Amino acid sequence: MSQSLLTPMALRRASLDAVLGFAWDVEVFTASDVLDAVGLTRSTAIDVIDELVARGLLTELPNARAAGDYRKGRPARRFAFRADAGYVVGVDAGRARLTATVADLRGETRSVRHLAADASQDSPEDRRRDAVRVVDDALAAAAIARADVTALCVGVPAPVDRIGSSPPHRDGFWRRMNPSLRELFGEWAPIVRVENDASLAAVAERAVGAAVGYDDFVTLLAGERLGAGVWVDGTPLRGAHGGAAEMVAFDHVTGVEGAWGLGYRAAEVARRALAKGSLPSASALRLLDATEIDGKTVLTLAADGDPGALVVARQVGETLAVIAGVLGSLFDSRRIIVSGAVAAGAGPVIDAAADALPQELDLPAPEIVASELGADIVSVGAVRAAVEAARTGVLDLPRFVVAS
């Protein structure tokens, strides 16, 4: 739509959005910088900047003379975005572990808090209580009140549609994982998003991780269960009910037979080998009781060169190759990123998968890499999503409206 067809109010809002978006991404700037970046007239740019200062989203700094950068002529007024004008919260509401991260409007972390939860106690009431508790703990640690939160985003292990709801599931699991969390936090947070956890992991990878510069990739959360965040042509996929790339499809794929994650599979394969007595004599896994074997232990031993753990890793890697082959064939991805806590020890599994992958598809094989964002990746992505939500909606919030 041409500017000539816009109302004065719409033009004003467009100018505010443009200047605020510019300021959000730079440090100190002047009106001349805005002119170069946004293309407004000088009078409009100065007027919009002054309004954003009045709204509390920009601050005016000492001018160029006071800053020691003045040479001749009238010193330029200098401004900066107020990252502390509000705060965001990113939440990873996993089944057994919840993480809340508080950050400023640029995503700089102020506090992180974790909460262990009993996975068998996952009623809607339990989930809501734990989610509120971890958020309030993180806010308290940062000395930030609920009233100072501009946007909040929660990641859950369930499909999530465009309005933050999860569809029915045969045993009710998805709605237990997402028991109306958007409405719960919407009671006090002005902007709330609820998203699938793997989708938020993909947001984190594209912003600061292994998918920077990639438009076509899959982020695979692969600890106990598989979850995938898929980007195609620079756009995240969601689907009508939030179920794009739902991993239950692997129940029907030969060589995978289920949506179990890499950590779970490594532990199961190792336990079976221990029970059969097929582990090499030099393997430290032979010294463990079956109850002591978990995915982290197996993958750590494999990374250290343990012969039994390496056999397990190769077997799990062959399964990962099938998974990557299916995802690569469906989405023509350039990268498959193994993310989450399991990524730290996934090197031997990824190496084995890379060797097997070219046999799994006709398209060029996607590169399989390990994430470096750690176990808090979903919370990192949730913070990024909350910042983007704040950028979109902050001008409409009552606290940032100038009294007439």
pLDDT of residue 357: 86
Please give the pLDDT value at position 8.
Answer: 87
Report how far apart, in Å, the C-alpha atoms of 220 and of each of 141, 205, 210, 370 are.
Answer: 31, 11, 12, 10
pTM exceeds 0.85, yes or no = yes
Give the CATH H-level superfamily of domain 85-206+378-400. ATPase, nucleotide binding domain (3.30.420.40)
Q: 85-206+378-400 with 213-372: one CATH topology?
A: yes
Rg (CA), the chain: 25
Distance CA 349, CA 280 (A): 18
What lies within 8 Å, CB to CB, of 218 at 6+ separation is 202, 228, 229, 230, 231, 245, 327, 331, 333, 335, 336, 337, 366
Is the CATH code 1.20.950.20 the one for domain 213-372? no
Give the pLDDT of residue 2. Answer: 52
**Which tokens is 226 given?**
């598989």
Q: Are 56 and 77 in contact (CB under 8 A)?
A: no
- pLDDT for 75: 76
Say what the pLDDT of residue 369 is: 97
Domain limits of the chain? 3-81, 85-206+378-400, 213-372
The pLDDT assigned to 39 comes to: 87
Integer angstrom CA distances of residue 196 from 156, 242, 253, 256 = 5, 8, 23, 22
**Contact of 93 with 155, CB cutoff 8 Å:** yes
Q: From first to last of its 404 residues, what are the pLDDT tens digits of the chain?
A: 455 567 889 999 999 999 999 999 999 999 999 999 998 999 999 999 999 999 999 999 997 655 555 555 567 899 999 999 999 999 999 999 999 999 999 999 999 999 999 988 889 999 999 999 999 999 999 999 999 999 999 999 999 999 999 999 888 999 999 999 999 999 999 999 999 999 999 999 999 999 999 999 999 998 889 999 999 999 999 999 999 988 988 999 988 989 999 999 999 999 999 999 999 999 999 999 999 999 999 999 999 999 999 999 999 999 999 999 999 999 999 999 999 999 999 999 999 999 998 776 788 999 999 999 999 999 999 999 999 999 999 999 999 998 65
C-alpha separations of 155 from 61, 166, 246, 322, 387 in Å: 38, 12, 15, 27, 14
Tell which CATH architecture fits domain 3-81.
Answer: Orthogonal Bundle (1.10)
Structure confidence at residue 358 (pLDDT): 76
Structural tokens at position 211: 């998918």
pLDDT at 49: 97
Residue 218: the pLDDT is: 98
- C-alpha–C-alpha distance, residues 337 and 228, integer Å: 10
What pLDDT sits at residue 65?
58
